[in-house]
């Protein structure tokens, strides 16, 4: 999501108001869209050229992704399965057996190398315990305590990964190098819009923070060797901020694979957050759709019709077949009132009907 309290796709703004955001230019140079400043919406995604229908505008690997629930298409969706998956890309692994001790599994050397950076920032068996806590205390939400743990662990892991190069350049003292690495590791998350703390009040932040501190603090402190940064990462303020960012920016994922022992498709419901994809605004008449290109967490944004050069690219955050009132209620979660053509037309009809009733 680009910005809270932003209008929908129908907002009329002069073309000169769309100024490309410099910090995103390196990331979008290879794509046919730019991320621009929109005076009514904050950020917006605009086509650089005319685009054909059914064209993949974006292919993006999530910054962080996490599993939610696995089931077989041949059985009831409420019936859970124990088929393992890759903890980095969430690819289903029917040929592997889950480790009894809770050790994470990976599908490739690349995923093991990437996942190892953040897994080592958790206590052994932490993922299993976080999932158990979620089943007991959590609500049916795409944002879980595990999602927050993965974000914190990723920041800590990236900090450790960046630190040697910053030490070796000889320009920074040890403490300065560590904080520079930490700042760079936080930067992708800072690009995600966050709501006010009050918006996550229904999540038990206190209990979640205590759990996360127990599962992450010791390992992070061991690798960062800095108590202040460690305390910051597992603080209630950090947990609240990440919860809000994930609630606003998370994208649902459906990953499937044929599994012989399930006699059909095995489906992993999951979620993730992407820096570029989260910049797409919502419309109830979207011109793009979010999908999956591979049997893992990789996201695609594909055009639903022909797009004109300079046109804003929009996706749908909700089921747009719902009635106006239901759509408005669901979009309140994202902190804006949609002003797309569909909503404006239906509100106009609703208003005219109300006027007719009051005048009769």
Domain boundaries, position 313: 15-60+274-359
Mark which of 199, 214, 249 sits at the end of a domain.
249
- The pLDDT score that the predictor gives to residue 4 is 43
Residue 257 domain flag: no
Do residues 191 and 156 touch, judged by C-beta distance below 8 A?
A: no
Neighbours of 9 (CB within 10 A): 23
- The pLDDT score that the predictor gives to residue 153 is 98
Which CATH number characterizes residue 314's domain? 2.170.270.10
pLDDT per residue as tens digits for the range 265-291: 889 999 999 999 999 999 999 999 999
Cα–Cα dist 146/93, whole Å: 20
Do residues 91 and 172 touch, judged by C-beta distance below 8 A?
A: no
Same domain, residue pair 210 and 89: yes
pLDDT tens-place values along the chain, 360 residues long: 654 434 443 333 334 445 888 889 999 999 999 999 887 778 999 999 999 999 999 999 999 999 999 888 766 555 556 789 999 999 999 888 877 667 899 999 999 999 999 999 999 999 999 999 998 886 678 899 999 999 999 999 999 999 998 877 765 666 789 999 999 999 999 999 887 655 565 678 999 999 999 999 999 999 999 999 999 999 999 999 999 999 999 999 999 998 887 777 889 999 999 999 999 999 999 999 999 867 899 999 999 999 999 999 999 999 999 999 999 999 988 888 899 999 999 999 888 776 667 766
Same domain, residue pair 163 and 187: yes
- The pLDDT score that the predictor gives to residue 290 is 96
Do residues 250 and 272 touch, judged by C-beta distance below 8 A?
A: yes
Average pLDDT of the chain? 87
Residue 266 domain flag: no
Same domain, residue pair 161 and 290: no
Same domain, residue pair 43 and 70: no
- The pLDDT score that the predictor gives to residue 75 is 60
Please measure the distance between the N-terminal and C-terminal CA atoms of the chain and give it in whole angstroms.
Answer: 43
The region, left, alpha or beta by phi > 0 then psi within -120 to 50, assigned to residue 149 is: alpha
Residue 3 domain flag: no
Same domain, residue pair 332 and 224: no
Cα–Cα dist 106/84, whole Å: 9
Residue 339 domain flag: yes
User: 88-102 as b/e, with b when 16 or more CB fall inside 10 Å?
Assistant: bbbbbbeeeeeeeee
- The pLDDT score that the predictor gives to residue 11 is 34
Same domain, residue pair 292 and 195: no
Gyration radius from the chain CA atoms: 22
Of 193, 175, 134, the residue nearest 317 (C-alpha): 193
Same domain, residue pair 245 and 123: yes
Residue 310 domain flag: yes
Same domain, residue pair 89 and 119: yes
Do residues 32 and 57 touch, judged by C-beta distance below 8 A?
A: yes
For 347, the 3-state DSSP assignment is helix
Mark which of 191, 215, 249 sits at the end of a domain.
249
Same domain, residue pair 178 and 307: no
Same domain, residue pair 69 and 199: yes
Same domain, residue pair 113 and 242: yes
Same domain, residue pair 49 and 73: no
Residue 256 domain flag: no
The tally of domains found in the chain comes to 2
Mark which of 215, 249, 283 sits at the end of a domain.
249
Of 146, 120, 113, 119, the residue nearest 131 (C-alpha): 146
Do residues 265 and 213 touch, judged by C-beta distance below 8 A?
A: no
Do residues 255 and 242 touch, judged by C-beta distance below 8 A?
A: no
pTM for the structure as a whole? 0.87
Residue 7 domain flag: no
């Amino acid at each position: 999501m680009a910005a809270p309290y932003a209008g929908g796709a129908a907002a009329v703004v002069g073309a000169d108001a769309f100024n490309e955001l410099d910090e995103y230019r390196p990331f979008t140079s290879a794509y046919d869209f730019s991320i621009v400043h929109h005076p009514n919406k904050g950020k917006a995604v605009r086509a650089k050229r005319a685009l054909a229908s059914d064209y993949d505008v974006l292919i993006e690997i999530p910054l962080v992704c996490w599993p939610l629930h696995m089931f077989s298409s041949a059985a009831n969706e409420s019936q859970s399965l124990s088929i393992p998956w890759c903890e980095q890309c969430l690819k289903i692994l029917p040929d592997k057996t889950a480790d009894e001790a809770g050790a994470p599994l990976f599908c490739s050397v690349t995923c093991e190398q990437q996942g190892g950076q953040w897994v080592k920032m958790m206590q052994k068996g932490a993922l299993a315990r976080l999932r158990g806590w979620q089943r007991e205390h959590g609500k049916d939400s795409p944002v879980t305590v595990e999602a927050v743990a993965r974000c914190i662990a990723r920041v800590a892991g990236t900090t450790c990964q960046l630190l040697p190069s910053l030490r070796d350049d000889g320009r920074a003292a040890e403490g300065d190098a560590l904080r520079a690495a930490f700042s760079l590791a936080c930067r992708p998350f800072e690009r995600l819009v966050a709501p006010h703390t009050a918006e996550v009040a229904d999540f038990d932040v206190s209990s979640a923070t205590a759990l996360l501190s127990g599962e992450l603090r010791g390992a992070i402190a061991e690798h960062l060797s800095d108590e202040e940064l460690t305390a910051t990462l597992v603080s209630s303020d950090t947990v609240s901020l990440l919860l809000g960012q994930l609630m606003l920016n998370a994208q649902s994922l459906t990953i499937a694979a044929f599994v012989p022992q399930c006699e059909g498709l095995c489906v992993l419901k999951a979620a993730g957050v992407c820096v570029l994809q989260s910049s797409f605004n919502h419309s109830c008449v979207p011109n793009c759709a979010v999908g999956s290109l591979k049997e893992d967490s990789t996201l695609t944004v594909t055009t639903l019709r022909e797009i004109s050069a300079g046109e804003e690219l929009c996706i749908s955050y909700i089921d747009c077949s719902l009635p106006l009132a239901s759509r408005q209620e669901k979009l309140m979660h994202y902190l804006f009132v949609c002003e797309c053509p569909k909503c404006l037309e239906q509100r106009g009809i609703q208003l005219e009907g109300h006027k007719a009733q009051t005048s009769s």
